[in-house]
Structure 1
Amino acid sequence: MSLIPIRPGAQPGGGRAPGPAAESERRDAARNRELLLCAAREIVEESGADALTMDRLAQRAGVGKGTVFRRFGSRAGLMMALLSGAEAEFQGRFMFGPPPVGPGAPPLERLIAVGAARISWILEFGELARAADASVYNRFDVPPAVLWHRHLEMLLREAGVTADPWLMASALGAALEPELLLHAVGVHGIAPERLAETWRELVTRVVGGG
């Protein structure tokens, strides 16, 4: 599953438009998928992301567990589906949005801004993100993680960092792991503003050191 935004109206594969029967079946599938997602969101709101299992979702939605697996493939796929809208919106901000998060600001300024924006995003969607991380095999290789890593690496290169930007991007990304930030805020009472200021200090030192 790729969460990278595509232009509205793009048709994968080009090909001939589907007939009425196929179109109706696709609408039914989309409607059923959204009903399952609504039920999943209710479970998360009531009991937290860890309580969301394929069995519980099937029971809440009144369908067989096989239907849930056909729609999402796995618990990881379900978590990623729940996050897809929020993740795509965040991607759109740093790829196409206004500066300093989006293009147009100096690279260090963008690094500072996009990290602060990611912290805010995690504090809003972090429970789902943490659950998705725990569910996904090779979670560093899924498209959203790869895109995020490449973006950090690109900004580091643009800022003049030559000391292995790929590994440096991995290290910076680790500082914004959902489980780490949620633990800092929930257990140690760290204020979001302190997290953002520490990120600013970190990336400023990394870029300043070249």
Structure 2
Amino acid sequence: MRRERTDAARNRAKILAAAEAIVAAQGVRGLSMAEVAAAAGVGVGTLYRRFGDRSGLAYALIDRREREFQSAFIEGPPPLGPGADPAARARAFLDALTDRTVGQLDLLLMAETAGPFARFGGAYDAYHGHLSMLIAQLRPDADAYCLADALLAPLAAPLLAHRIRECGVEVERVKLALAALLDGMTT
């Protein structure tokens, strides 16, 4: 893997700090490439070359918390990390993923709706692989691959935002429903 140049790393840090400040002050709707570039003291072209578009910038803003979350379920303490039984790990994972999604819901909405398959790839693949492994441990005869998708589907940012913001569904209700789905799949 190629190392990032020092000036490029410095620009990236300035850009992300400016974008975070704009999101904190104005919300995701206030995030424009031109405003971020001006606040960071870089050209708009630099921003587009580095991040592609607003959704690429959103993913970069999401990245730090995503890395922390993945580290927690890969190597953190139980029940989210190794050492707990698969059912407890899966439940802890779904609860933590729900909280994580809600915590960055507007950024995830922007990122996940950038294209028809924008939600899938990197992080989704990690979640899917983790859940598939846990389901396979609980039910070796089950189609763990498709069941993992069924558990992740309710956590798509557009659906979760609609349920929470438009329908008044409480986050705890989402977690309980996911736990019920998991129980039904694994018993």
Q: TM-score, normalised on structure 2?
A: 0.89
Structure 2 residue ranges without an equivalent (≥5)? none
Q: Partner of 2:183 in structure 1?
A: 204
Report the Cα offset of residue 136 of structure 1: 5.2
Q: 1:107 aligns with which of 86, 91, 95?
A: 86
Deviations 1:145-204 (A, max 9, x none): 111111111111111153322111111110111222222222222222222111111100
Matched, 1:73 2:52: yes
Q: Partner of 2:147 in structure 1?
A: 168
Matched, 1:147 2:115: no
Identity %: 37
Q: Partner of 2:20 in structure 1?
A: 41
Write out the 4+ residue segments of structure 1 that deviate beyond 4 Å after TM superposition.
none
Higher relative contact order (CA 8 A, sep 6+): 1
Structure 1 residue ranges without an equivalent (≥5)? 1-11, 19-24
* Distance in 2, Cα, partners of 1:202 & 1:149: 16
For 2:82, what is the secondary structure of its paired residue? coil
Bigger radius of gyration among the two: 1
Deviations 1:117-143 (A, max 9, x none): 111111211211121111256324421
Contact 1:94 / 1:114 at 8 angstroms: preserved in 2? yes
Contact 1:161 / 1:207 at 8 angstroms: preserved in 2? no
Contact 2:113 / 2:119 at 8 angstroms: preserved in 1? no
Matched, 1:93 2:76: no
Report the Cα offset of residue 41 of structure 1: 1.1
Report the count of equivalent residues.
Answer: 187
* Distance in 2, Cα, partners of 1:204 & 1:101: 17
* Distance in 2, Cα, partners of 1:207 & 1:189: 29
Report the Cα offset of residue 91 of structure 1: 0.3
